[in-house]
Structure 1
Amino acid sequence: MMPLPQSGAGATEAHARLLVESYRKWTGKALLPLVQSESVKEQLFEASIVILSHGTEADPILNYGNRRGLELWDMEWERFTSTPSRLTAEPMEREERDRFFEAVTANGYVDNYTGIRISSSGRRFYIVNATVWNLVDDAGAYHGQAATFSEYQYL
C-alpha cells in the first residue's frame, strides 16, 4: 500500500491560486467553495475532487496533484511531479488525449471529457465528466493545463 502523501506536498499557494483563478476565468464558476481565511493550497490538496495540472514543457510534466489524484495514480508527490502527463494514459489512448488537449488550448477549456487512464501500478480507470482548462495568469501568460473530476470507474 502506498504511504499517504504529505499534506500540501510541494505545491505553492501561488500555483493553487492560479488553478482556482484560471478555472473561474474560463468557466465562470468556482473550482471549490473556498474558506477565505484558510490556505488555498491546503483546501485544494484535501478536496474531495481530483485536481491535477501539467506545465508547458515540450513533453508536459505533471506539476500538481492533490491527495485524491496522487492516490488514484498510486504515486507520491515527487514521482507524480516528475512524470510526463502523457504517461497517465495508455499508449493507445495518447493520440486521442493529444487531440483533446489541442482543443483545450484553442478554446480555453473543455467540459465533460471522458477517457481511460492508467495508474503507476497498471490499474486502468475511466474518468467521467472531467473539466480541463488552460492555466493563464493575470498578465495573460500561459502556464500549462489543469483538470478536475470527481467521477471515475475502475476497469
Structure 2
Amino acid sequence: MNLASFPWLEAEIIRHSLRLIKSYQHWTGKPLTGDAPSPAEIAHDLFHASFVLLSHGTETDPVLNYGNQPALDLWETTWPELTAMPSRLTAEPHERQSRTQLLHQAAQQHYIQNYQGIRISTTGRRFRISNAEIWDIWDEQEQKCGQAAKFSHWEWL
C-alpha cells in the first residue's frame, strides 16, 4: 500500500491529527471534528473533512506538514508535493508580506478568525479564502510545534 495515497494511516500523521484537534479545542472551545472511536479514525475523518485544513511547522521558513484532501484538491497537488512545500508558496509573491504579518499576529494571539486573503494553487490558479481560522498547534509537552489554518469558504478568481 502506498502511504502517500493514505497519509492518515501513518503514525506521525495520526499523532499530528490529534495535536490539531486538541489545539483547536484548546484555543476555541469547539471541537474540530465529531467523535470517532480511535485515533486512526479521527485522522481519517480529519483528512476527509468538509473543510480545508493545512498546517506548517516551526522552521525559519515553515514547510507544510499537513493538508487534508480538500486542501490537496484546492492547491491541485499531491501529499508528497504539499508536504515538501514552504508554506509561503501558498500565496503569490505580492501577497506574502501580508500573510507573514497575519501569521505573526496569530502567533501573538494563538488564535485568530475571519481572515481572508488571496492564495494560489500549484498550477497558478488564484482563489480567495474567507472566514479562515488560524491557531497555534501544541505538542504533548505543550510546546508550540506549528500553526494550522482551517476554512470552508473560497472562490476561484
Q: TM-score range by the shorter chain?
A: over 0.9
Matched with 1:27 is: 28
Give aligned-pair identity as a percent: 45
Do the aligned partners of 2:7 and 2:79 also contact (CA within 8 Å) in 1?
no
CA distance in 1, matches of 2:45, 2:140: 22
> How do residues 83-98 of structure 1 correspond to structure 2 at under 5 angstroms?
83-98=85-100
The whole-number CA distance in structure 2 between the counterparts of 1:142 and 1:19 is: 11
Q: CA deviation at 1:19?
A: 0.3
For residue 149 of structure 2, the aligned residue among 122, 147, 150 is 147
Aligned partners of 1:151, 1:47: CA distance in 2, in Å?
Answer: 14
State the match for 1:7 in structure 2.
6
What is the Cα deviation at residue 49 of structure 1? 0.5
Residues 28-76 of structure 1, C-alpha deviations (whole Å, 9 max, x = no match)? 1111223234611111111111011000110000000000000100110
What stretches of structure 2 of length at least 5 have no aligned partner?
none
**Counterpart amino acid of 1:108?**
H
Cα deviation 1:75-99 (Å, max 9, x = unaligned)? 1000000000000000110000000
2:44 matched residue in structure 1:
42
More helix by share: 2
Q: How does the TM-score come out when normalised to structure 1? A: 0.92
The alignment partner of 2:102 has SS state of helix
Q: Quote the Cα distance in structure 2 between the aligned partners of 1:94 and 1:101.
A: 10
* Contact 1:7–1:45 (CA under 8 A) maintained in structure 2: no
Q: 2:26, 2:119 → 1: CA distance?
A: 27
Give the conservation status (yes or no) of the 8 Å contact 1:34–1:43: no
Whole-Å separation in 1 of the counterparts to 2:133 and 2:14: 21
Name the CA distance, whole Å, in 2 between partners of 1:138 and 1:7: 24
Deviation at 1:102, TM superposition (A): 0.4
- Opposite residue 17 of structure 1, the aligned amino acid is L
Letter in structure 2 aligned against 1:61: V
Distance in 2 separating the partners of 1:20 and 1:8 = 17
Which amino acid in the other structure matches residue 70 of structure 1?
Answer: L
Q: Secondary structure at the match of 2:62?
A: coil
CA positional deviation for 1:109: 0.7
Task: Find out whether 1:127 has 2:129 as its counterpart.
Answer: yes
Contiguous gaps of at least 5 residues in structure 1: none
